[in-house]
Amino acid sequence: MNREARPAREDAALRVEDLSKTYADGTRALERLSLHVPAGSFFGLLGPNGSGKTTLIGMASGLVRAPEGHIRIFGHDAVADYQRARLLVGLAPQEVHLDRFLSARGVLVHHGRYFGLSKGAAGRRADELLSVLDLRAKAGARPNRLSGGMRRRLLIARALVHRPRLVILDEPTAGVDLALRHELWRYLARLHREEETTVLLTTHYLEEAEALCERIAFIRGGAILAEGGVAELRARFGGARLEDAYTRAMG
Amino acid sequence: MRPRADRRALRTVELRGTIALAGREARRVLGLWTQTILPPVATAILLLAIFGGALGDRLRQVEGVAYPWFILPGLLVMTVAGQSFANAATSLFQAKSEGYIEDVLTSPLRHWQVALSYMAGGLLRGWLAAGVVAAIAVPLTEGVRRPALALAALALTGVIFSALGVLTGVWAETFDQHAFVANLVITPLALVAGVFYAVQTLAEPWSTLTRLDPIFYLVDATRAGFTGAHEAPVAASLGVAAGVATAVVAAAVGVLARGWRLKP
């Protein structure tokens, strides 16, 4: 369903125009932000805490109200046409929140069914993801019985159950040990390459962004400071590594 | 994809999603039956035994109906109301406070489908608990005069209070707020709704005040269904209940659509 719901020849997985957001406490999180994430790209969104990354992701996925500006997911308005837009998005949020009344497999099956998969298809997809993310042995365990790394992997699996065309990963490797982090990198790279999935990644690990992302945007104060390939950003801000360019761009 | 086929595919997504979420709620109710079903059944049976059995010998008849039979419909309304409300409110409050409501908020489900799914768990819990109480108590009474009317009144009770549960689950930011509505709004309203007495025996202003309590009409219509006795016109009681049900369901869907207290 989700793969068939796309409008033809849309070149942007995520297109954001003049997006602003002020929270009830007066915090201005986004300031007329515009961003274009090309379809099929592995895109990094880098910025310090409080720069607006999670707000932007929340608005694109339905977790944060979006009263000003426009967000389009493969051409579908994320507010006016939210059903078709959400079918195309898979989100692994920064905070790990998993339904404690369900087993690990149940979390995946239910999520798949919320997105329209049949019971059988959701079950098969859940089993596949549990194997891929090395959670098969914990299929029957409740999320609160899993280790931090396992919960993080389950969250990523949940984002992938309905085979979204745009996967949004908000700091997916935060708190994950080095071996698992590299394992997740390999899986995400393979997902992007083999399934042509667009990936929008936020991370504080700049080597992670440098290793995985084809394009990167720097965000600060709710606005995009710069956008381009790793080499472009290094050339523009100077430095041998992305980290140098990032540090200089952020001032 | 052609527009009609696209719409049909979307309807399939909605149907499967709604069944999945409602099924999740139903499994929660059944899986936790010692917390969700057993206590309200025990409470209702105990109230029936104490008031119907012990006081019934003294009171004998109210409105021409044996006292245990007179209070049974009200106890069923109290059971459906309390359990429907508690389930929808608690489940939504837990999902919100523990954060896993994001699973539903990021889904393509429509707002009314989310409300309906949470209400389904409440309805199941309320009706199941009341059904068990009725299965135990009805054979000991004189039967049910108008089953369709009794079922309609109990159905409306479930709809009203499960929708109120959704509203409370969305509104409450602390467990105290959640408990406040159950303990200081719903329970008192249920107790003064004529469950244990005939309203026309009350002096003013209590008689008029009771008639302002919407639960009174649910109790009265259910009693009319069980015993044939009623104090308000049955059509008026069902009309009031249907009006209240429409208003609270609309409010529940409205707050979900707006994202009030769910989305910053």
ipTM of the complex: 0.88
Confidence class of residue A2 from pLDDT cuts 50, 70 and 90?
very low
pLDDT digits 0-9 by tens, A190-239: 889 888 899 999 999 999 999 999 999 999 999 999 999 999 999 999 88
The percentage of chain B sitting over the pLDDT mark of 90, rounded to a whole number, equals 70
B103 vs B3, higher pLDDT: B103
Confidence at residue A4, expressed as pLDDT on a 0 to 100 scale: 41
Domain boundaries, chain B: 3-258
pLDDT digits 0-9 by tens, B221-249: 999 999 998 999 999 999 999 999 999 99
pLDDT digits 0-9 by tens, B71-111: 999 999 999 999 999 999 999 999 999 999 999 999 999 99
A151 inside 8 A of chain B by CB: no
- Give me chain A's average pLDDT, please: 91
User: 10 Å Cβ neighbour count for B41?
Assistant: 20
Which of A79-88, B34-43, B197-206 is predicted with the least confidence, judged by mean pLDDT? B197-206
Confidence at residue B178, expressed as pLDDT on a 0 to 100 scale: 85
Confidence at residue A1, expressed as pLDDT on a 0 to 100 scale: 42
| Pairing status of strand A76-77 against strand A89-92 | unpaired
pLDDT digits 0-9 by tens, A173-185: 887 788 888 888 8
The answer to whether the Cβ–Cβ distance between B20 and A84 falls below 8 Å is no
Maximum CA extent, chain B: 73
Mutate which of B97, B107, B263 to disrupt the A interface (most A C-beta within 10 Å)?
B107
Confidence class of residue B209 from pLDDT cuts 50, 70 and 90?
confident
**Identity at A214, one-letter amino acid code:** E
A40: CB partners within 8 A, 6+ apart = A13, A196, A198
Which of A4-13, A138-147, B1-10 is predicted with the least confidence, judged by mean pLDDT? A4-13
Between chain A and chain B, the number of residue pairs with CB atoms below 8 A apart is 96
Q: Which residues of B touch A126 (CB under 8 A)?
A: none
- DSSP-assigned beta bridge partners for residue A169: A92, A201
The answer to whether the Cβ–Cβ distance between A100 and B100 falls below 8 Å is yes
Mutate which of A81, A101, A162 to disrupt the B interface (most B C-beta within 10 Å)?
A101
Contact B119, B251 (CB under 8 A): no
How close B63 gets to chain A, by Cα (Å)?
A: 47
Nearest CB to A97; choose among B1, B99, B259: B99
Confidence at residue B56, expressed as pLDDT on a 0 to 100 scale: 61
pLDDT at residue A122 greater than cutoff 90: yes
How close A69 gets to chain B, by Cα (Å)?
A: 16
pLDDT digits 0-9 by tens, A85-121: 999 999 999 999 999 999 999 999 999 999 999 999 9
Q: Which residues of A touch B106 (CB under 8 A)?
A: 61-63, 86, 89, 91
The answer to whether the Cβ–Cβ distance between A84 and B10 falls below 8 Å is yes
Nearest CB to B9; choose among A4, A58, A62: A4
Confidence at residue B59, expressed as pLDDT on a 0 to 100 scale: 65
Q: What is the mean pLDDT of residues B167-179?
A: 92
B2 vs B34, higher pLDDT: B34
Confidence at residue B51, expressed as pLDDT on a 0 to 100 scale: 81
A116 inside 8 A of chain B by CB: yes
Confidence at residue A251, expressed as pLDDT on a 0 to 100 scale: 81
Residue A91, CA distances (Å) to A97, A161, A169, A216 in order: 12, 10, 6, 19
- pTM for this entry: 0.90
Nearest CB to A115; choose among B17, B100, B102: B17
How close A31 gets to chain B, by Cα (Å)?
A: 16
Those of residues 128-147 in A touching chain B at CB distance below 8 A are none
Confidence class of residue B171 from pLDDT cuts 50, 70 and 90?
very high
Give first-to-last CA distance, chain A, whole Å.
45
Kindly calculate the radius of gyration of chain A based on its CA atoms and give it in whole angstroms: 18
Residue A173, CA distances (Å) to A148, A164, B85, B129 in order: 11, 20, 40, 46
Confidence class of residue A135 from pLDDT cuts 50, 70 and 90?
very high
The answer to whether the Cβ–Cβ distance between A87 and B13 falls below 8 Å is yes
The percentage of chain A sitting over the pLDDT mark of 90, rounded to a whole number, equals 77
pLDDT at residue B4 greater than cutoff 90: no
Q: Which residues of A touch B100 (CB under 8 A)?
A: 97-100
Q: What is the mean pLDDT of residues B145-149?
A: 95
Confidence at residue A10, expressed as pLDDT on a 0 to 100 scale: 63
Pinpoint the alpha helices (H) of B138-233: 147-171, 175-181, 187-191, 206-211, 214-227
**Residue in A closest to B113 by C-alpha:** A114
